[in-house]
Amino acid sequence: MNRLIIIGGSDAGISAALRAREIDPSVEPTIVMADRYPNYSICGLPFYLSGEISEWRSLAHRTKEEIGQAGIRLLMGRHAKAIDAEKKRVLVVDEEGRAGELQYDRLIIATGAESIKPGIRGMDLPGVFLLRWMDDCFAVHQWLTEHKPRSALIVGGGYIGMEMADALSFRGLSVTVVEFAETMLTTVDKPLGEEIAAELERRGVSVAIGVGIESIERDGNGLTVKGSNGFNARADLALVAVGCRPSAQLATGAGIKTGIKGAIKVNQRMETSAADVYAAGDCAETWHHLLKNYTYLPLGTTAHKQGRIAGENAAGGNREFAGSLGTQAVKIFDLVAARTGLRDSEAQEAGFDPLTNQFETWDHKAYYPGAEKMIIRITGDLATRRLLGAQILGHYKSEVSKRIDIFAASLFNDMTVEQLSDLDLSYTPPLSSPWDPVQMAAQDWVRNLK
């Protein structure tokens, strides 16, 4: 039982292979991947396109040689076309169209997700791009290099949209961001989304909210983008970033069950409905640690963890995925927005009786130079005073992501909001206060109880 086939060479697939080798060195992982970029940081693409990272190869977590030295076989440029779960084999086709079969004892599906391609007229025009994989990145980079656009329009105000607004502005382009919802970055509450929109505008980015894009047309050397409410704008480049969906076609073709948003159904051992077949990463459902049920949360951190669990169990281990809280952060110019757990609306939907309180304070003692304001929103349950979630918006030097991690760790340990004040957190005037902003926000939540 040592033939382990993994389909997909990104976060989940590589993590699975490495962990399987740690658990049982006799396991021989073979990774089948359609492209030639194993273990690359897809999250780093905006920073390469901005020019802040000059060498795209530096985005690799590990080189091909390092992966090989770890005892992992890479089959690059190979498309997995079908899975026969009964006969335990995978049909693979190479770049020349030659087909072959790979036998497995255990199989891990880590095919990730794909960008949603909305039904906008003109999506296939030159100068219109999606952004998820390395080849997408190279296409955008080539357009930037060869055509030297002066303006860009981004459809979608989510994480990729925000990072690319920053990235393209950094390159000197005039940027417009169009969002269908009534605020930017809908993964955080509207008051924070409004602050983010204001930051974009301060940085020269045009913001259009409540607009659905309907068509993109060629207009000489550029593009004309039209949408609802009379929206009409011209740009030299258009990037469409409206979310992603799980790449689960291989699984469904093999009769493997899928669930939420078409993601592969798994248990906490990352096992699918087919014997000896596991799934991990953006193609699979996610166990939510707080809600104690399954959802779909495609995040790089989650993919690494799920892949590690799948690899361990495929190699004979017995470990369960502890779950995700949706903890995430994004840098938008000088701001960082972060969240973990449930927002007020999500908590209500889950059956809690939530109170969400917003608190503003300095990131460290105001008398020490460089103090910046932070906005912290805490959601807790009124009946039990249990912490349910938190959101933070602050300067990127204010340790926003590490402070959201305090909330995440507290959520994992089922703490009440009041218990945050008991934590022994570090203090020095250039970095914090005797009561950390996390604790000051918690105390303000308690003061505002009904």
Span 24-44, pLDDT tens digits: 999 999 999 999 999 999 999
Write the DSSP symbol of residue 275: T
One-letter amino acid of 119: G
Output the pLDDT for position 219: 87
Output the pLDDT for position 25: 95
Question: Domain 334-447 falls in which CATH fold?
Answer: Enolase-like; domain 1 (3.30.390)
Q: How far is CA 132 from the centre of its chain?
A: 10
Active site residue 43: yes
Q: How far is CA 399 from the centre of its chain?
A: 19
Tell me if domain 3-114+245-314 and domain 128-242 are identical in fold.
Answer: yes
Output the pLDDT for position 29: 97
Output the pLDDT for position 170: 97
Place of tokens 């014997």: 275
**What is the C-alpha to C-alpha distance for residues 368 and 424, in angstroms, rounded to an integer?**
22
Computed from CA positions of residues 356, 362, 364, 367, in that sequence, does the dihedral angle turn out positive or negative? Answer: negative
Reduced to 3 states, what is the DSSP secondary structure of residue 98?
Answer: coil
Rg, the chain, Cα only:
23
- Report how far apart, in Å, the C-alpha atoms of 258 and of each of 16, 21, 273 are: 21, 28, 9
Domain ranges of the chain: 3-114+245-314, 128-242, 334-447
For the chain, which residues score pLDDT lower than 70?
A: 1, 450
**What is the C-alpha to C-alpha distance for residues 395 and 381, in angstroms, rounded to an integer?**
28
pTM of the predicted model as reported, rounded to 2 decimal places: 0.95
Quote the tokens at residue 431. 């970095």
Output the pLDDT for position 220: 86
Output the pLDDT for position 137: 97
Homologous superfamily in CATH for domain 3-114+245-314: FAD/NAD(P)-binding domain (3.50.50.60)
Number of Cα atoms under 13 Å in the Cβ half of residue 411: 29
Q: Which listed residue (43, 137, 244, 283) is catalytic? A: 43
CATH of the domain spanning 128-242 = 3.50.50.60
- Segment 367-372 long-range contacts (CB within 8 Å, at least 24 positions apart): 367/429, 368/429, 368/430, 370/397, 370/430, 372/397, 372/398
pLDDT in tens, 225-282: 999 999 999 999 999 999 999 999 999 999 999 999 999 999 999 999 999 999 999 9
Q: Could you tell me which residues come within 8 angstroms of residue 85 by beta carbon, excluding any fewer than 6 positions away?
A: 107, 254, 255, 256, 274, 275, 277
Output the pLDDT for position 55: 94
